[in-house]
Structure 1
Amino acid sequence: MNRIVAGDVDLAFRWWKRPTVKTGGRLRTAVGELSIVDISVVRFESLTENDAKRAGYQSLEGLKKDLARQSDRTFYRITLQFSGADSRIALRDDVDLSAEQCLALIHRLDHIDKGIGVSGLSMKALELIERYPERRAQELADELGLAKEPFKTHVRKLKERGLTESLSVGYRLSPRGRYVLQHARKTDAG
């Protein structure tokens, strides 16, 4: 993975029915965020030893073995560039929010909740995660009367705003998540 950060690995190849990334987009990975510099259709037969090295393989043979031909799909070459650390990590620790900024974030969460038709879901999810860190997603979803996948999708939206952290099992609130939840409780009480 550090070869991506160093810039030694800057290509990826995929067989897709349609691309799952686009030029100018960003991709989050274990090493941080990657920029999608370019995506193009290429012929599988045109791969070179240099392509294999730039994709992190020891040899062209290894690359071709991993990417066996799939006749119902198109072969894509993706040019990548390391962009930096996952921006959500810094956001998780950012509790330097004014009351107005915190309220705006809470209103944004309310808007998301209304969009999926479950009023107060974000705050309920934050409260459950606070109460039961490291609890399995299915158990938390059951507490809210939701299916697991919609619950996980919603928690990803909370994570995007720096409010939660994913663990090997379950989640926990970030410092920002605790701060926003405390602010919401004070607003409700006052």
Structure 2
Amino acid sequence: MLFRREVLEGIAGGRIDRVFRVWAVPRVKAGSTQRTWAGIVVIDSVTPVTPEEITEDDARHAGFTSRAALLTALSKSTKEGGYHRVMLHLGGPSPEAELRENADLSDQELAEVKAALDAIDTRSHRGPWTRDVLHLIQENPGLRAMDLAEHLGRDKLPFKADVRRLKALGLTESLETGYRLSPRGKAVMTYLHL
């Protein structure tokens, strides 16, 4: 489930505790979690609702100014299906978030990250790519994933999957558009002399 930046900020700030989606079949279930840049979002419940069951209170707690604004947004969905109320909360920071902010790495930690990157490159059927992607993001913060992928002659979706692998190591972070190196990523790039 994708969240807009302002929604994640609202969840992290405690202002938003529900979202609404148009689904033929719910894409999440109660008890599931989702890692985001803001932290771990926990799904508390997923309930089908009719437009009449959506209240002003629902709209405010979903980050909308009014019920009418929420219903207008839902009516613009291109997906088929019914409305669903997803109750949720921030369960805590994501492990990657804590990693990303740590730029004070010991020589051993830097060597471990280098070894992890080497292992990813060794297992890749395309050959080494981690340094190229890190360098590209370093040189082009905020550039769209599609444009970054084109720089490397790659398709967007496989490229984004690769960036997620780097993100899991705490080296990159997502922006509203594109990516940037995290403080940890910058420290690793200095260590790698890239």
Aligned pairs, number: 183
Change (3 A) 1:88 1:177: same
1:164/1:177 contact within 8 Å kept: yes
TM-score (norm 2): 0.67
- Deviation, 1:65, is 3.0
- Structure 1 unaligned regions, length at least 5: none
The structure whose Rg is larger is 1
- Structure 2 unaligned regions, length at least 5: 1-5
Q: Quote the residue 2:3 is aligned against.
A: none
> What pairs up with 1:54-69 in 2 under 5 angstroms?
54-68=61-75
- Deviation, 1:158, is 1.7
- Deviation, 1:46, is 3.0
1:34/1:84 contact within 8 Å kept: yes
Find the residue that maps to 2:116 and give its secondary structure: helix
Alignment-mate amino acid for residue 172 of structure 2: T
Give the superposed CA RMSD.
3.7
Change (3 A) 1:166 1:6: closer
- Deviation, 1:24, is 3.3
Mapped pair 1:105 → 2:117: no
Q: In structure 1, how many angstroms separate the alpha carbons of the residues matched to 2:79 and 2:103?
A: 51
Q: Quote the residue 1:124 is aligned against.
A: 132
Change (3 A) 1:128 1:19: same
- Deviation, 1:78, is 1.0
> What pairs up with 1:39-118 in 2 under 5 angstroms?
39-44=45-50, 45-68=52-75, 72-83=80-91, 88-114=96-122, 116-118=124-126
- Aligned mate of 2:41, from 35, 49, 66: 35
TM-score (norm 1): 0.68
Q: In structure 2, how many angstroms separate the alpha carbons of the residues matched to 1:129 and 1:65?
A: 37
Q: In structure 2, how many angstroms separate the alpha carbons of the residues matched to 1:8 and 1:167?
A: 21
Mapped pair 1:15 → 2:16: no
Q: In structure 2, how many angstroms separate the alpha carbons of the residues matched to 1:168 and 1:85?
A: 19
Percent identity, please: 34
- Deviation, 1:62, is 3.3
